[in-house]
């Protein structure tokens, strides 16, 4: 498992109306590789409202529809439910994040950027 990977998770919550939800792993790699049984993930929804905490994604990332990563709805998921791998999210967030986070600029590595916004 690696940071930035997309996984399709069956019924992740009793509150989620969908049978399946796609999540992107946002935990730092040290935590993912550790013996902790959970990782922090951001859900992906087809709804996009243009909020600063939403990152647009779509077919290029292996999804069926244009969607968005909702960075303000982070969840802790057991590693054991992350089995249906979709693909590694290419680190071209720079283009989406630069509008949302002006100080992102030319940082090419999401692992360098995310800790500045609480993703340690």
pLDDT tens readout for residues 10-28: 988 888 888 999 999 999 8
Residue 118 has pLDDT above 50, yes or no: no
The model's pLDDT over 69-110, given as tens digits with 9 standing for 90+, comes to 999 999 999 999 999 999 887 654 444 444 555 554 444 444
Grade residue 57 by pLDDT with cuts at 50, 70 and 90: confident
Q: Average pLDDT for residues 109-116, to the nearest whole number? A: 48
* Strand blocks (E) in the chain: 5-10, 20-25, 38-45, 54-57, 67-70, 75-78, 84-88
In a domain, 84, yes or no: yes
- Token readout for 116 is 């500045």
The reported pLDDT for the residue numbered 102 is 52
**Measured distance CA(6)–CA(119) in Å, rounded:** 17
- pLDDT, position 62: 80
104 HSE (CA, 13 A, CB side): 20
Q: What pTM does this model have?
A: 0.74
Q: Does residue 114 carry a pLDDT above 60?
A: no
Pairwise CA distance, residues 34 & 87, whole Å: 22
CA distance 20 to 93: 24
Q: What is the extent of the structural domain holding 26? A: 5-112
Whether residue 64 is contained in a domain is answered as yes
Domain count for the chain, please give it.
1
Does some domain include residue 59?
Answer: yes
| CATH code of residue 84 | 2.30.30.110
Whether the per-residue pLDDT at 35 is higher than 80: the answer is yes
Q: What local confidence, expressed as pLDDT, does residue 16 receive?
A: 85
């Amino acid at each position: 498992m690696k940071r930035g990977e997309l996984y399709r998770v069956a019924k992740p919550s009793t509150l989620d109306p969908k049978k399946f939800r796609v999540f992107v792993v946002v935990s730092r790699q040290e935590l993912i590789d550790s013996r902790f049984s959970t990782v922090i993930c951001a859900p992906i929804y087809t709804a996009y409202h243009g909020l600063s905490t939403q990152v647009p994604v779509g077919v290029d990332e292996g999804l069926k529809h244009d969607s968005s990563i909702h960075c303000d709805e982070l969840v802790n998921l057991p590693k054991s439910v992350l089995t249906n791998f979709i693909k590694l999210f290419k680190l071209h967030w720079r283009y989406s994040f630069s509008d949302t986070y002006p100080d992102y600029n030319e940082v090419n590595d999401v692992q360098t950027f995310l800790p500045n916004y609480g993703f340690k």
